[in-house]
Amino acid sequence: MIPRAQPFAVEPEDLNLILSKLDRLHHVRDLHSLLDTLLSETRHLVHADAGSIFLAEDDVLKFSYVQNDTLFQADFLSNKYIYSNSTVAIDETSLAGFVAVNGRPLIIDDAYALPSDAPYSFNVKFDEISQYRTTSILIVPLTTGKKELLGVLELINAQDDRGRVVPFSEYQKNFIGLFAFYAGVAIERALLLRDVVKKMLTMTQIRDPEETQPHVERVGAYSVEIYQRWAERRSVPREEVASYKDVLRTAAMLHDIGKVGIPDALLQKNGPLNAEEFELMKSHVTFGAEFFKNPHSEWDTLALEITLNHHQRWDGTGYPAPAKKGLAIPLSARIVALADVYDALISKRAYKDPWEEETVLHHIRSAKGSHFDPELVDIFFEIYDIIRAIRNKWET
């Protein structure tokens, strides 16, 4: 059980600020979007240059999100460091682990000058890799309403009005601790939604051995990163980008849910389908669209677009009939089409071995303007280091 935090005085204007920030959090549904919003809002509250979030999973703290204005200035919301597989033990040997175990915020004035008798140590690995200098740190626990551990929020390098790194204050520690306590409710809700989506995906996975959890995680992640760069090119407002990404990831993960309507003999066939079998397999897009007909939300609409249209082709030769062409194909479906094909080709399937990476990339290039939206192909190659990082994070 996490110890209960002691009450403290909050300035009225700060309390109003907390409430306004929390209201924004409670409108975010996707876990990744929520972590991005939570981290950016808390950093803004204390003028922190960087920060990260660790979520508790399988008795460790899993590195789940990172932001750094100094390092990622040109690519603020989309960076390969988000897809790290790093973990930290839930014990007192690390800063994050210490906070997780004790359930209390911790202030570090200088990460490189910790007291010799401190039970914890600072891991310099990220600083060494990135050429960044971590100095001041504020770490607070993230918990449920029942005080069960969800994870740890870490803010790095508070800055004064001149951009100089300064220590975090005791008031900031309590202020952010209170904000994080209430933010835990939003994280708990997002985790619950994610669990519901995973249960929906399990229906498909039971029927289709190729529709694995890593595959759908990768397709969802590829899709939001491709969209992110597409939106950056058009200077789409950040709030609009965040809102779209919020629903795109889970909608993309459900792109093949219609396969629950396909016979097992086809889904589990060890080899290519004949013409008749392929025609039957194509009906999974209309089966999938049935789940989301008569949409009542942006998420329903996006899921309908994707399930029905992710096998349409830029040149108008896709399915289902009547075939759509070019920009008539919804953006969401054009993105998922590219993400899904890439992952299918580079991964092992019952009917094929994985293609070599260069062969896959050559295929993507050659299908530019025929199968795929030309601009999205260009974007895919622009962010390929992020695509590769995603693939490594969710290896089959």
Angle (deg, nearest 10), helices 331-346 and 298-309: 50
Q: For residue 102, how many other CB atoms are within 10 A of its CB?
A: 13
For residues 120 and 218, give the distance between their C-alpha atoms in angstroms, rounded to a whole number.
Answer: 35
Helices (H), 234-272: 238-253, 264-267
Instruction: Decide: residue 353, CB within 10 A, 0-12 exposed, 13-18 middle, 19+ buried.
Output: exposed
How many whole angstroms separate alpha carbon 35 and alpha carbon 17?
19
CA distance 287 to 257: 8
The residue type of 248 is L
Which position has the token pair 């790095």?
156
> What is the C-alpha separation between 200 and 292, in angstroms, rounded?
13
Q: Which amino acid is at 66?
A: V
If we measure between CA atoms, which residue out of 280, 337, 344 comes closest to residue 306?
337
User: Is-catalytic flag, 368?
Assistant: no
- What does the alpha-carbon distance between residue 213 and residue 265 come to, in Å, rounded to a whole number? 21
Q: What are phi and psi of 209, to 5 degrees?
A: -65, -15
Given 21, 173, 245, 259, the catalytic residue: 259
Q: Identify residue 10 by its one-letter amino acid code.
A: V
Amino acid at 46: V
Distance separating alpha carbons of residues 246 and 223, to the nearest angstrom: 12
Q: What gap in Å lies between CA 255 and CA 221, rounded to an integer?
A: 13
Pairwise CA distance, residues 146 & 142, whole Å: 11
In 3D space, the residue among 243, 234, 299, 231 whose CA is nearest the CA of residue 78 turns out to be 231
Instruction: Provide the Cα torsion 350, 352, 357, 363; round to 10°.
Output: -120
Q: What is the 3-state secondary structure (H, E, C) of 292-317?
A: CCCCCCHHHHHHHHHHHHCCCCCCCC
Quickly count: other Cβ atoms within 10 Å of residue 263's Cβ: 12
Point out the residues that are catalytic.
Answer: 259
